A = this chain, B = another copy of it.
Amino acid sequence: MKCDLLIVNATLLPEPGRGELQDNGYLAITGSKISDLGPMAKLAGNVSGRQIIDVQGNLVMPGLVNTHAHGAMTLFRGLADDLELMSWLNEHIFPAEAAFVEPEMVYWCSKLAAAEMILAGITTVADGYFHEDAAARAFAEAGIRAVAAQGVIDFPAPGVPDPVENIKAAAEFIEKWQGANPLITPGVFCHSPYTCGPQTLARAKELCRAKGAPFFIHVAETGQEVAQLEKEHGLTPIAFLHDLGLLDRDTVCVHGVWLTDADLALLEKSGAGVASCPESNMKLAAGLAPIGRMRAANIPVGLGTDGCASNNDLDLLQEMGMCAKLHKMAAGDATVLPGRVMLAMATAGGARVLGMGEKVGALRPGMDADCIVVDLARPNLTPFYNQETLVYAGRGSDVVTSIINGKVVMAKRELLTFDLGETMTQVRRISRRVKAAV
């Protein structure tokens, strides 16, 4: 067994939610790829990894895929809780963004988000924000895999004071980052169908098609949004996107809470995926995304944390259990969204939504080496009869090691790629200005 990094004595979970736990396994990484995995017996002492990690029976599984976040919004964590969504957005978040979002803020606050995510077992994130160039820099330095999407909105925005320039700014961002770093996939994130006009939406998607880049949009998040679109265009938000030709395999619909059967049929036919953010939808009382109906229609569905202003953490492990429990209660049926479905959604399901299903989200030879080690010697994970325990009793802090693209980026809960203390100091410094202003 020749490889660069060999993980031994692992409880392997190569395909969470689909396959079973495999005791006494190994995982071999060569360069940035998984080169082999199997039972320890197969190694037969013939071991020559350049680096060997003995995980002593702990769980080794694919890293989690966070299909929706606004990393830089760590700055606004807890700034405006317990408020109605439109008041939260218009009276608190938009003004705070107008006052404080600039490249340095995006850089440090995205870096804090990267730390929080890596420490919680997230190895891929789909991020969308303004000054996304600074976010992409932060993610690249942190060593987290990111689909980084430049924010587009038809209002004066941070970095793009004149909305006429918003597509140009997105094009420059894609130009700069496409192919520049193996961890970073640039894309475009249109805020929503109520903050971007039809022409902007069409031009943004056209740019994405020309560049082969992913397109994201918040859509069908609230009943209010649906009412507004119906009034202005006589269409549901999804039908509106469909009419503009925006729905295809490279489009990710974020939230997708208020969906009619016709909307689901449009999504199914188009191949577009959905990023469901249950904790954000709960906290802002947006509503309950019909995950069961989406899955029945074979629409790709992943799990997202959303930004820290509306969740308020970036803990996808915990979000799995929250999502399952919420749907059980809403359905009055404890058998819906079982733990395994959540595990699959948070790994391979999310990868499929981001068009990365062949690349990450499972441990298979040839796939990119994104994996995490979960400490099974925690009281909250004892005993560990099966993988569902991770969903219903696990939390991000149970993850002890994180490997992304073949590189160990976190070990023993210490980040290895950058100085987290410095980052927190910088975020606190900026947060004091925010506090003084509100």
Residues of A within 8 A of B (CB): 74-75, 77-79, 81-85, 88, 112, 115-116, 119-120, 279, 281-288, 308, 311-315, 318, 322, 324-326, 328-329, 331-335, 338-339, 377, 379-380, 382-386, 388-389, 391-393, 395-397, 420, 424, 427-428, 431, 434-435
In the complex, the answer to whether A82 meets B382 with C-beta atoms within 8 Å is no
Report the minimal beta-carbon distance from A45 to chain B, rounded to whole angstroms. Answer: 28
Q: Is B315 in contact with A383, judged by CB distance below 8 angstroms?
A: no
A334-B88, A397-B395 given; A380·B82 CB < 8 A: no
Determine whether the beta carbon of A379 is less than 8 Å from that of B112: yes
Contacts of A84 in B (CB 8 A): 333-335
Residues on B with C-beta less than 8 A from A324 are: 82, 283
The answer on a CB contact under 8 Å between B326 and A382 is no
Given contacts A74-B382, A424-B379, contact A333 B388 (CB under 8 A): no
Assembly CA distance A288 to B331 (angstroms): 12
Judge whether B388 and A313 touch: CB under 8 Å: no
Interface pair A385/B79, CB less than 8 Å apart:
yes
Q: How far is the CB of A179 from chain B (nearest CB, A)?
A: 30
The docked-state distance in angstroms from the alpha carbon of A205 to that of B314 is 46
Mostly, the A contact residues are helix
Which among B77, B283, B333, B397 is the interface contact of A285 at CB below 8 angstroms?
A: B333
Report chain B residues within 8 Å CB of A288. Answer: 329
**Chain B, residue nearest A340 (CB):** B82
Contacts of A383 in B (CB 8 A): 74-75, 77-78, 427-428, 431, 434-435
- A77 vs B279: C-alpha distance when bound (angstroms): 24
Q: Given A285-B334, A392-B312, are A339 and B385 neighbors across the interface (CB < 8 Å)?
A: no
Across-interface contacts of A386 in B (CB, < 8 A): 78
Whether A328 contacts B392 in the complex (CB less than 8 A), given A83-B334, A382-B74, comes out as no
Q: 10 extra interchain contacts, Cβ-Cβ under 8 A, other than A282-B328, A318-B318, A326-B326?
A: A81-B388, A82-B334, A84-B335, A281-B329, A283-B392, A285-B329, A287-B332, A313-B395, A315-B380, A383-B431
Q: Of B83, B116, B284, which one neighbours A379 at CB under 8 angstroms?
A: B116
Selected A-B contacts with CB under 8 Å, 6 pairs:
A77-B383, A77-B389, A78-B388, A82-B334, A311-B392, A313-B395
A314 to B382, CA, bound (A): 12
Q: How far is the CA of A120 from the CA of B391 in the complex (A)?
A: 18
**Closest chain B residue to A322 by CB distance?**
B322
Q: Is the CB of B325 within 8 A of A282?
A: yes
Interface centre among A81, A283, A308, A427 (most CB of B within 10 A): A81
Q: Which of chain B's residues have a CB closer than 8 A to the CB of A285?
A: 328-329, 331-334
Chain B residues closer than 8 Å to A428, beta-carbon distance? 382-383
Residue of B nearest to A388 (CB): B81
Interface centre among A75, A308, A313 (most CB of B within 10 A): A313
Interchain CB contact under 8 A, A338 and B81: yes
A314 and B396 contact, Cβ closer than 8 Å, known pairs A82-B335, A281-B329, A283-B334: no
A339 contact set on B, CB distance < 8 A: 81-82
The contact of A385 among B119, B388, B435, by CB within 8 Å, is B435
Residue from B286, B314, B382 within 8 A of A380 (CB atoms): B314
